[in-house]
Amino acid sequence: MKKILMLCSVALVLSCSDLSVSDDDAVKNELPAGFIRSEYAKINLDVPKSQIVFKIKEDLGEIYDQPARTNECKGFLNPDGEISPLALDIYANYLGCPKTGWDANEKCSLDMGIYGQVPAYNKATVKNGDTTWTCVIGGCWSGGLDELVNTDCNDLETSIVSPLCSGENLVLPTTLLNTICKFVLPKANDVKEAENFLKNFSYDSTLIERHYLLVGRSEGRPYKYCKSGEATDILRNPDLALKVGSGTRIFYDYGKHLFCLSEADGLIYLLK
């Protein structure tokens, strides 16, 4: 039940009263035709991966957000002034961050895939009547995976200007380090143990289905890849949603529509 409540906490405007743990048949009846849980999980990487974070958070309890937790896993992720393969693997395959960098001082662009099409990642600041935008993807590094891999702190020019360099040592930014640490097994004895935990984690496939019903459909998440003749030429956009709230507390409810993700251009389209 705690896992169901975890999903519900994300969808503040939705109710969980009709989704008991044993009511699997009712869940399947509510899913759209052609829903495949593995495809939905592949498109929406944060859905299955959040189960790992939840499991680790359960195991850690009170120390989850304390600085001691970061220090505990730092040796696995940033040893000897380098970024470890484990940290890069978590960034690329578990966080769901964009792999290429982006300009954090502009709106998220459409070529960022799903991130560029979700209004929540665009933050507006109004000052003296002027509005400025930033693209903020929590926990992710705006330089992308490429910068994490390719920065050479032995290059004097690079080490002076790069925020990733402390002298000749490559360091993970604190925010990114804290986020990656959420995927490291508590009290792991070595890197291999932490890697095996991620590799062999047993996902609850039913929760993936429930996520779409409780959260994903309302958020307008694509539940499948677009197939020939299935999609319209209309991109998902706020005009298709029911606008709930006002000011800075606005939620766009796309629940009346279904969407797919185009593998050709990485954009989300309204299904026919």
What tens digit of pLDDT does each residue of 5-17 get?
444 433 322 233 3
| Together in a domain, 185 and 203 | yes
Question: Whole-model pTM?
Answer: 0.72
User: What percent of the chain is predicted at pLDDT more than 90?
Assistant: 21
| Together in a domain, 241 and 169 | no
Which amino acid is located at 272 in the chain?
K
| Together in a domain, 227 and 211 | no
Using CA atoms, how far apart are residues 9 and 214, in angstroms rounded to an integer?
10
| Together in a domain, 272 and 145 | no
Mean pLDDT for the chain overall = 80
Domain range spanning residue 259?
Answer: 220-272
In a domain, 113, yes or no: no
Tell me the two tokens of residue 166: 């402390």
Are the C-beta atoms of 236 and 220 separated by less than 8 Å? yes
Which residues face 135 on adjacent strands?
A: 122
- State the SS3 of the chain: CHHHHHHHHHCCCCCCCCCCCCCHHHHHHHCCCCCCHHHHHHHCCHHHHHHHHHHHHHHHHHHCCCHHHHHHHHHHHCHHHCCCHHHHHHHHHCCCCCCECCCCCCCCCHHHHHHHHCHHHEEEEEECCEEEEEECCCCCCCCHHHHHHHCCCCCHHHHHHCCCEECCEECCCHHHHHHHHCCCCCCCCCHHHHHHHHHCCCCCHHHHHHHHHHHHHHHCCCCEECCCCCEEEEECCHHHCEEEEECCEEEEECCCCCEEECCCCCCEEEEC
In a domain, 126, yes or no: no
**Count of domains forming the chain:** 2
pLDDT, tens only, 36-64: 999 999 888 888 888 888 888 777 765 55
Phi first, then psi, for residue 54 (nearest 5°) are -65, -40
Domain boundary among 219, 236, 264: 219
Average pLDDT over residues 154-167: 81
In a domain, 203, yes or no: yes
Q: Considering only CA atoms, which of 211, 205, 199, 203 is closest in space to residue 90?
A: 199
| Together in a domain, 224 and 213 | no
Q: Please, which pLDDT band fits residue 97 given cuts at 50, 70 and 90?
A: confident
Q: Please, which pLDDT band fits residue 27 given cuts at 50, 70 and 90?
A: low
| Together in a domain, 262 and 172 | no
For 240-251, letters b (16+ CB in 10 Å) and e give: bbeeeeeeeeee
For 112, 169, 191, 215, 222, the CA distances from 117, given in Å and listed in that order, are 8, 36, 36, 17, 11
| Together in a domain, 163 and 29 | yes
Tell me the two tokens of residue 143: 């330089």
